[in-house]
């Protein structure tokens, strides 16, 4: 006789699988855009959030907003702010030492120089590579070492659809975002046995300071909106749910993955809609 569904292994408490109470999160890039919304959302679900950014005033504003969300959700955890430069290896190591119990690490900081390859300077290429790839490498080493030692943790990095599909003027940005995917996948492979999960989120077009140049050009903005199957750009808060998911027990068996949140950009060609 087959066993009844109720006789199987203990099931997780589904109603609380997104509950982050008692967990410490650090969000680098929390001063604006996706990082700000990620920090606020994590606080709303109960995490104690450290809002880190090179701009301390902006990080402090995010911490205040996150604290308000925590109060509304009655999580009681709240948020604090620190100044942190991703490219300052000493400061990154110090932050990791000061926050040794970080359970959730989220980083969104990135830059882009929109130029064609033959117009790029070596200095510009280095600037994009440093912030988008070298900085995250140091961040992973500093915080990842402590997560591995403790046997738990969730790392969430932000790549881009440009890691998979690119266009003229996106050479270094696309290359670094593709490199970030492989860097974090390798971390997932190396740290999985220790109980540390590592994943990425790949946004499409999002209205953030990084895309201001496109937002200010109506034809360019409309073309990008039309490329999505939803016909619009994303707001930063629409990425927050993906962060909470990957940070939570709902994603307990998810690691080494890239979660695409692009409004269907990469699902359809978009150049022509056939009549039938």
Which sequence positions are flagged as catalytic? 173
Which residue is it, tokens 């961040």? 139
265 and 227 Cβ atoms separated by less than 8 Å = yes
Q: Which helix (H) or strand (E) holds 77?
A: none
H, E, C per residue of 209-230: HHHHHHHCCHHHHHHHHHHCCC
Q: Which helix (H) or strand (E) holds 7?
A: none
By DSSP bridging, strand 153-158 and strand 196-203 are parallel
Cα dihedral sign, 117-123-124-128: positive
20-37 in b/e burial notation, b at 16+ Cβ within 10 A? Answer: beebbbbbbbbbbbbbbb
């Amino acid at each position: 006789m087959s066993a009844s569904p109720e006789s199987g292994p203990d099931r997780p408490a589904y109603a609380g699988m997104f509950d982050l109470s008692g967990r410490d999160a650090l969000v680098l890039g929390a001063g604006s855009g996706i990082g700000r919304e990620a920090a606020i959302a994590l606080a709303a679900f109960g995490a104690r959030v450290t809002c880190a950014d090179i701009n301390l005033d902006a990080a402090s504003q995010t911490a205040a907003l996150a604290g308000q969300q925590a109060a509304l959700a009655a999580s009681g955890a709240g948020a604090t702010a620190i100044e942190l430069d991703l490219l300052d290896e000493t400061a990154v190591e110090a932050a990791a030492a000061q926050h040794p119990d970080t359970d959730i690490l989220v980083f969104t900081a990135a830059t882009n120089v929109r130029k064609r390859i033959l117009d790029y300077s070596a200095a510009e290429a280095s600037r994009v590579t440093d912030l988008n790839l070298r900085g995250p490498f140091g961040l992973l080493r500093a915080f990842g070492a402590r997560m591995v030692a403790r046997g738990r943790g969730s790392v969430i990095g932000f790549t881009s659809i440009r890691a998979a599909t690119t266009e003229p003027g996106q050479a270094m940005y696309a290359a670094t975002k593709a490199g970030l995917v492989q860097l974090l996948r390798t971390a997932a492979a190396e740290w999985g046995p220790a109980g540390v999960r590592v994943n990425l989120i790949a946004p499409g077009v999002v209205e953030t300071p990084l895309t201001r140049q496109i937002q200010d050009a109506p034809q360019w903005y409309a073309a990008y909106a039309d490329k999505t199957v939803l016909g619009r750009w994303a707001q930063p808060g629409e990425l927050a749910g993906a962060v909470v998911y990957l940070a939570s027990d709902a994603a307990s068996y998810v690691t080494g993955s890239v979660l695409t949140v692009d409004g269907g950009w990469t699902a359809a060609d978009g150049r022509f809609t056939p009549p039938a």
